[in-house]
Amino acid sequence: MRRWTPTLGGLSRTDAPLNVRAASWVLGDHNPRHEFHVKFIRRSGTLDRLIRQSDPQLVHAHFGFDATLICPFVARERIPLVVTFHGYDVTSLPYESSLAAVSYRRRIGELFRYSSRLIAVSDFVAEKLVALGAPPEKIAIRHIGVPSGLSSAPASHRRGVLFVGRLVEKKGLADLLMAVSRLPDSFHSVEVNIVGDGPLRAQMEVLAARLGVNATFHGSQDSAGVSRAMSEAAVFCAPSRTARSGDSEGFGLVFLEAALHQLPVVSYAHGGVRSAVANGETGILVEEGDIRALSEALHRLLTDPETRSTLGVAGARRVVREFEVQAQTQALESLYDETVEANA
């Protein structure tokens, strides 16, 4: 941020890859008593005091569920509330049967009424918000930006297919492995590099072996490792799809990161991916669940270096033009200005 000064606050502190230099406070740090008061009683003198000490002009909560927790506290102080919805908080959580989901459904109407602005990270998330009953006039679309910086590695020096993501159902790794197994015999040895970890890793390793796919599972990597993998790959494929729980991709920053490395994308026309990838311009999107079409798109790019290069260069330029982090942050700060002025 350039004009606003953030103070970070939460129930507990967790490790994160971001080197954030900002003032912060933590309510008890994994103290069950504090969490019980915030989540169930909805009153905490300690939290009230921390909020007053911060003396914020507004509060910006990320994820709908977290926003329902802080909402009654900022409402008592009459502080404007801005909420960003990222995906699962509009696609799956509202429809689950867990205690958290029941609580979320009961409180989301209050959140919609009190919040000054509701930020959706994509058109898809905005549509889901409206379906949940959010007032359309309160919704604003603001993308999570990424730092710009073009990769200059020539497409002809790249090889293989890259997947980056958590190994969960929504990310569609099984579809990618099946799509690769359908490639012509001459491509059966194509390298598939899988960066990420998760509960489905063992299952995916068994599937890759059974299908005869030349897959290497690298596990979780730091940002430098991900960047290196993106610089070396020919095609990025992360066919996100709707999980059985309803969980869907709200946006997908990884698609922008791939584009910045001039890496053309193959994926499904699913959820927020349709905002992150311009079909036919920066990548190829096919109908969700169509593994044959996914395989054909992979084959087309693996055999056509010129098209790979054209899509990759266009992708990098689009990210700089539409998703650069400083431009997106300026737009967010302008939304803060408008919110405070409207509530003055």
Of the pLDDT bands very low, low, confident and very high (cuts 50, 70, 90), residue 17 is low
Can you tell me the distance from the alpha carbon of 34 to that of 38, in angstroms, rounded to the nearest whole number?
A: 6
pLDDT band at 336 (very low <50, low <70, confident <90, very high): very high
Given its phi and psi angles, is residue 331 left (phi above 0), alpha (psi -120 to 50 degrees) or beta? alpha
**Predicted local confidence at residue 73, as pLDDT:** 95
Distance CA 275, CA 99 (A): 32
Dihedral angle sign, alpha carbons of residues 137, 250, 60, 107: positive
Structure tokens at 160: 């293989």
Burial grade of 26 (CB within 10 A; 0-12, 13-18, 19 or more): middle
Domains and CATH numbers, the chain: 7-145+324-342 (3.40.50.2000), 155-322 (3.40.50.2000)
Beta-carbon count within 10 A of 325 CB: 15
How much of the chain, in percent, has pLDDT values that exceed 70?
A: 96
Render pLDDT for 207-231 as a digit per residue (tens, 0 to 9).
Answer: 999 999 999 999 999 988 999 999 9
Read off the pLDDT band of 153 (50, 70, 90). low
In this prediction, residues 122-129 reach a mean pLDDT of: 95
Higher pLDDT, 175 or 344: 175
Mean pLDDT score, 275-293 = 96
Has residue 16 got a pLDDT over 80?
A: no
DSSP category for residue 145: P
Amino acid found at 10: G
Task: Dump pLDDT digits (tens) for 72-82.
Answer: 999 999 999 99
Compute how many other C-beta atoms are within 10 angstroms of the C-beta atom of residue 28. Answer: 16
The pLDDT of residue 260: 92
pLDDT range class, residue 155, cuts 50, 70, 90: low
**Is 274:251 a contact under the CB 8 Å cutoff?**
no
Dihedral sign, Cα of residue 333, residue 337, residue 338, residue 339: positive
Tally of residues, the chain: 344
**Burial annotation 127-149 (CB, 10 A radius, 16+ → b, else e):** ebbeebebeeebbbebbbbbebe
pLDDT > 80? residue 194: yes
Average pLDDT, the chain: 92
**Percent of the chain with pLDDT strictly greater than 90:** 77
pLDDT digits (tens, 9 = 90+) for 24-82: 888 877 778 888 888 888 999 999 999 999 999 999 999 999 999 999 999 999 999 99
**Per-residue pLDDT at 138:** 97
d(CA 59, CA 62): 10
Angle of helix 45-54 relative to helix 64-76, nearest 10 degrees, comes to: 80
Per-residue pLDDT reduced to its tens digit, 106-121:
999 999 999 999 999 9
Single-letter code of the amino acid located at 149: G
pLDDT over 70 (residue 125): yes
Largest CA distance in the chain: 67
Residue 150 confidence class, pLDDT cut points 50, 70, 90: low
DSSP 247: -
Would you say 80 and 57 are in contact if contact means Cβ atoms under 8 Å apart? yes
Q: Looking at the predicted structure, is the pLDDT value of residue 148 above 80?
A: no
Contact criterion met (CB below 8 Å) for 106 and 127: no
